[in-house]
Amino acid sequence: MQIPQKSIRFAVIVGMALMIGTFLYPVHNRMLELGWFAGLILLWLATLASLSARKTLRIIVFFLPFSAAIPFVLPEKKIDPDVLCARYVERLQAYDGTRYVWGGESSLGIDCSGLPRKSLRDALLEQGWRNANGAAFRMWLSHWWHDTSAFAMSQGYRGFTRPLGIKGQLWNLADSPIRPGDLAVRGDGGHVVVYLGNREWIEADPNRGKVHRWISSPSDGGWYENMTVHRWVGCE
């Protein structure tokens, strides 16, 4: 059956609008994930319909989604935790100055839990491409699909993090055996900051309205009085 060109153009416009919209909107949630997939499927179907008279190209386009899955079925290789964590810390610092957006998880806007989450995924994706490592790609996908809030980080959600048994005032934690990349979560699970090393921390601060780095001191006040330290399992 020949599909009208008007319908194909409409599907292309809607598909592109969904994909561009979800890319430009920094907040990451399940509805946006599904919206991105819906836009991709619409573009794929519209492309197939527009190539009805070009059999070879139609076959190539038909199999494109299957080729996109190749990275996730590559053989598993050991992920070097030191390399992963070093790159993760570098990516954290790359977001310095990014505006604060509640629920945000991109360079267009990010929140306190989105900062370590997105930085770790950036490092995993790089390791996947650099080493053709299916384990890194699959870990990236798991972290992308299952958002981890600050509270969830403190609870070891899905085994992504583990507690180090260290707690106290933020300005004293740098004297404990913590590593760059470790997470300090407020006692109520409402905020998370990340250690960069040399007594320096980084956070997406809703009060400042952006990501910033600083050396904590008692003048920071009660916001950082009761913190617990956790580590990404992939970094050890």
Residue tagged 């384990």 (tokens): 135
Residue 124's pLDDT band, with cuts at 50, 70 and 90, is: very high
Higher pLDDT, 155 or 46: 155
pTM of the model as a whole: 0.86
For the ranges 10-24, 132-146, 155-169, the lowest mean pLDDT is seen at: 10-24
pLDDT 10s digits, 169-210 = 999 998 889 999 999 999 999 999 999 999 999 999 999 999
Nearest to 115 by CA among 142, 86, 148, 140: 148
Predicted local distance difference test score (pLDDT) of residue 191:
97
Is 112 within 8 Å of 204 (Cβ atoms)? yes
Give, in order, the Cα–Cα distances in Å from 231 to each of 48, 165, 181, 217: 46, 11, 7, 22
Predicted local distance difference test score (pLDDT) of residue 213:
98
Higher pLDDT, 49 or 95: 95
Residue 2's pLDDT band, with cuts at 50, 70 and 90, is: low
Predicted local distance difference test score (pLDDT) of residue 47:
82
User: What proportion of the chain, given as a percentage, has pLDDT over 90?
Assistant: 65
Residue 217's pLDDT band, with cuts at 50, 70 and 90, is: very high
- With 90 as the cut, is the pLDDT of residue 126 above it? yes
Predicted local distance difference test score (pLDDT) of residue 1:
54
Q: How far apart are CA 106 and CA 89, in angstroms?
A: 16
pLDDT 10s digits, 96-120 = 999 999 999 999 999 999 999 999 9
Predicted local distance difference test score (pLDDT) of residue 224:
95
Predicted local distance difference test score (pLDDT) of residue 48:
81
Q: How far apart are CA 33 and CA 44, in angstroms?
A: 17
